[in-house]
Amino acid sequence: MKIKQEPFGKINDGKEVTLYTLENDHNMTVKIITFGGTVTSIKVPDQDGKIADVVFGFNSLPEYLEEHPFFGVIAGRYANRIAKGRFTLNGNEYNLAVNDGENHLHGGIVGFDKVVWDGSIIQTDQVVGVNLVYLSKDGEEGYPGNLRTTVKYLLNNQNELAIEYEAVTDKPTVVNLTNHSYFNLSGEGSGKILEHEILINADRYTVVDEGLIPTGELKAVKNTPFDFTIASPIGKHIDELGLGYDHNYVLNKNGNELSLAAKVYDPKSQRKMAVYTTTPGMQFYTGNNLKGDRQGKTGQTYGKHEGFCLETQHFPDSPNHPEFPTTRLNPGETYRQKTIYHFSV
């Protein structure tokens, strides 16, 4: 296994961005930049050994500095939505940046996706990887507490990319972190993902209102278009949902053990991806808002339903739903989350 680092340009204030390339012994490579902790590339073989890049992204830093729909980034301090950008903790109301209609999305205007993380190399006999660290200061985007966050990306010879998240705070706060990669197992820019077959290990999902904020109801997926308890094509019922899927699934699990969240199979390339996580939920998003106006790494554009996201997470708007698993983090505690993406054919 190999790892290398190289410059990837500078952001507007002159801060340098580093690109890390991780490579295992089976022709799987992963690229990560310190801007946004972004996964820019995951290359894996198909059944014939043909390599394709299965995540959306760009070739240069200026493209990442422009507005884009969170391709490959770490979303935080709170991934997904918080209603009206408000929550109360210990009797204090906190007002967050509002950047999705009247709601707060993925950490706000300058979330974890738009900052430069401190990076360092991890290399052992078992893995190659990157250790990323960012200190989010008290009051940043409206959140309380100085939050020190560490994210490790680790690649092994089993074609697994593990992401390990940790965070500590000096004041009570809320935390919910995820990676926002868009996948197409046929290869990025190769068309729609509607024939990909997906299994989601969840019997329930969080019902949402028109602003995609949970109502509080956890509804059974059985006999609805949300039922992927048996693997079936993503496109089978997608037209019944208007734009498509953008919903949080309540994963079948006890506590926070590492367990199966989803399996995806692409009949065209015969690539498979399994997702394991310690989180209670996972947002399934089918690229509903992609307009085909952003050119990707191979010159292809990314259009509606041409990529899907599996964002392992706590539920949206949890700080305003005490009945949901808590996202509160107190001083002296450590937030931990682990997700593994396993590729095979």
Q: What's the residue count for the chain?
A: 345
Rounded to a whole number of angstroms, the CA Rg of the chain reads: 19
- For residue 33, the Cα-to-chain-centroid distance in whole angstroms is 15
Query: In this structure, what token pair is assigned to residue 55?
Result: 């995540």
Q: Which of 160, 311, 314, 321 is catalytic?
A: 311
Query: In this structure, what token pair is assigned to residue 143?
Result: 């959140």
In angstroms, rounded to a whole number, what is the distance separating the alpha carbons of residues 38 and 154?
Answer: 14
Q: Are 181 and 72 in contact (CB under 8 A)?
A: yes
Q: Which of 180, 247, 305, 321 is catalytic?
A: 180
Q: Are 183 and 55 in contact (CB under 8 A)?
A: yes
235-240 LR contacts (CB < 8 Å, sep 24+)? 235/192, 235/194, 235/195, 235/305, 238/194, 238/286, 238/305
Locus of tokens 């890390």: 20
Return the beta strands (E) in 234-297 as ranges.
246-251, 259-265, 272-277, 281-285, 291-295
Residue 318, SS3?
helix
Sheet holding 51-53, edge to edge: 2-10, 16-23, 29-33, 38-45, 51-53
| 180 labelled catalytic | yes
Residues 6+ positions from 339 with CB-CB distance below 8 Å: 162, 163, 178, 179, 261, 275, 276, 277, 278, 279, 312
Residues marked as catalytic? 180, 311
